[in-house]
Structure 1
Amino acid sequence: MATVGTGVITRAASATDLSPNTANSGGDKFTAGSDVWLFLENSSGAPITVTVETPGLVRGQAIADLTISVPAGGYAARGPWPADVFGDGGGLVALTYSTHTGLSFGAWKVGA
């Protein structure tokens, strides 16, 4: 899995700062946070399912992984991603994909 940075949206941010990442075949990770949002874009002709791992526990019980359906030629935005639910031991959120072909994404938060 590749770890990608979390972009910060500011008045001074450039288009390069906010460029989406190409999804990797083995999945991707980004830093968890209650102020972090995920934007997914599917340029393929078929829907893509993105699975977000949930290693957190509620009273010792496992939480089911979250799935996001990104429509063909469409978008999905989700968040926030608090570390106590979605973060692994290193504080990262893990994503896997039904296919990575045509999928791009970005993890962003609003800065000052």
Structure 2
Amino acid sequence: MAALTTTTVNTLGGLADLDAAAVAAAGGGDTAPVGDGLFLFVNNAGASPRTVTLATPGTVHGHQVADATLTVAAGKRGLIPLTTIFRGATGRAAITYDAVTSVTVAVIQLGA
């Protein structure tokens, strides 16, 4: 698994090229920090839809929480909030993909 780094987007200036912040999704999955204002950006430049899965390792009142999935259509982009519900034993979210061809990802944080 590759450890994704965070790109901060200044709320006053924005980010003109989100795709430039993205890196290739790792075949074995990725990890990402979690917390307020953090998002996983997914760009699917391929010809088929791709499903991104974030593990939810915790429980709520003793019940397992289902993993979160997002299917990104071919040629489209998606955004997933990286909330603390995805925090694993390492303190990071575990992210997997049904395929990684033509998929790039970035962790975006909204800054001041």
TM-score normalised by length of structure 1? 0.88
Structure 2 alignment gaps of length 5 or more: none
98 and 12 in structure 1: CA distance in 2 versus 1, 3 angstrom threshold: closer
Deviations 1:7-62 (A, max 9, x none): 1112387859x610110100001101121011111011000011110012101211
Shift of 1:6: 1.4
Structure with greater strand percent: 2
* Residue 82 (structure 1) aligns with: 83
**1:31 and 1:99 mapped to 2: Cα distance?**
22
Q: CA deviation at 1:67?
A: 0.8
Q: In structure 1, list runs of 5 or more residues that go unmatched.
A: none
Aligned length: 109
2:28 alignment partner, SS class = coil
Supply the distance in 1 between the matched residues of 2:9 and 2:39 (Cα, whole angstroms): 11
Q: What are the residue-to-residue correspondences of 1:8-23 with 2, within 5 Å?
A: 8-10=8-10, 11=13, 19-23=21-25
Q: CA RMSD in A?
A: 1.9
Percent identity, aligned pairs only, is: 31
| Runs of 4+ in structure 1 over 4 Å off | 12-16
**What is the letter of the counterpart of residue 89 of structure 1?**
A
CA change 1:9–1:98 in 2 (3 A) is: same
User: Could you tell me which amino acid in structure 1 is paired with residue 61 of structure 2?
Assistant: R
Match of 2:64 among 62, 65, 82: 62
